[in-house]
């Protein structure tokens, strides 16, 4: 009996020891366990965090950067230096012949297709045929809008230009005359492609106060539709070499006039010939 009692006690002791060990094990790992899942969570988060930004940030950054950089650069570049259009600016007979005190025309040049512009006028004026057609259309269109344009001056030969220059020289002196559209060989009137326009009333003829009239506003809004551009804008004197002349309109053709007007540039700037 003693033996069996001893055995029972031993078994109970061993079992209780095992239970205690088991409890201790549970207690120990029960505490450790929560810290163990933290690691996988942390590693999962860590792996998720770098993956997400790695996927989003780099894809966003390169997309934004190249898009923004090239867009800004080419957009800002064409404004000061526009792509030079494929237009003939050197041939005397070209509608887009660039003419100024640097790029002059010979004293012997005269267009071969001049004709009288068929509009109401006390002093009939001539222009090159294509420009005359456009002028007649424009004056007719203005009339439909209640604006009576007056064609003050069209074609002027080199000889007439020289006479005008000498008159101005006597009246205003050399400095002021050089800023007027009068220098022989440098006037677009010799090309038969320029016209001085004014109010039918004659108010502010060849004067900057012309800008205060609806006639000028109409020209600003519509002249390009007929192929004409304001050639010597006020504020661009240092580029054109000519004082602001809101009455002087140059024929360049409808397409080119639209492009030049939209650019907001002078012919010199538009064709990259500002020197």
Q: Give me the residues that bind Zn ion (CB under 5 A), please.
A: 181, 196, 248
195 DSSP β-pair partners: 249
Closer residue to Zn ion (CB): 248 or 259: 248
Residue 181 or 230 with smaller CB distance to Zn ion:
181
C-beta of 196 vs 230, nearer to Zn ion:
196
Q: Which is nearer to Zn ion, 89 or 180 (CB)?
A: 180
DSSP 56-116: HHHHHHHHHHHHHHHHHHHHHTTTTSPPPPS---SSTT-TT---SSSS---TT---SSEEE
| Tally of residues, the chain | 275
Q: What is the DSSP track for 208-272?
A: GGGGGSHHHHHHHHHGGGGTEEESS-TT-HHHHSS---TTEEEE--HHHHHHHHHHT--HHHHTT
């Amino acid at each position: 009996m003693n033996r069996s009692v001893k055995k029972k006690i031993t078994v109970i002791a061993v079992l209780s020891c095992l239970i205690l060990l088991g409890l201790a094990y549970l207690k120990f790992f029960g505490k450790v366990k929560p810290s163990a899942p933290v690691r996988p969570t942390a590693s999962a988060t860590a792996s998720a965090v770098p993956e997400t930004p790695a996927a989003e940030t780099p894809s966003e950054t390169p997309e934004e950067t190249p898009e923004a950089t090239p867009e800004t650069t080419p957009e800002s570049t064409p404004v000061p230096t526009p792509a030079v259009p494929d237009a003939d600016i050197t041939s005397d007979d070209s509608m887009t012949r660039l003419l100024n005190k640097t790029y002059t025309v010979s004293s012997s040049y005269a267009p071969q297709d001049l004709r009288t512009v068929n509009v109401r006028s006390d002093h009939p004026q001539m222009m090159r045929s294509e420009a005359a057609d456009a002028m007649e259309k424009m004056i007719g269109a203005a009339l439909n809008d209640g604006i009576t344009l007056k064609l003050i001056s069209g074609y002027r030969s080199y000889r007439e230009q020289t006479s005008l220059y000498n008159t101005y020289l006597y009246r205003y002196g050399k400095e002021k005359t050089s800023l007027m559209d009068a220098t022989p060989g440098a006037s677009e009137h010799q090309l038969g492609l320029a016209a001085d326009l004014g109010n039918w009333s004659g108010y502010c003829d060849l004067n900057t106060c012309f800008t205060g009239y609806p006639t000028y506003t109409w020209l600003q809004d519509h002249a390009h539709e007929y192929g004409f551009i304001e050639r010597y804008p006020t504020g661009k004197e240092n580029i054109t070499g000519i004082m602001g002349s809101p009455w002087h309109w140059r024929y360049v053709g409808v397409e080119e006039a639209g492009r030049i007007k939209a650019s907001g540039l002078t012919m010199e700037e538009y064709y990259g010939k500002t020197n």
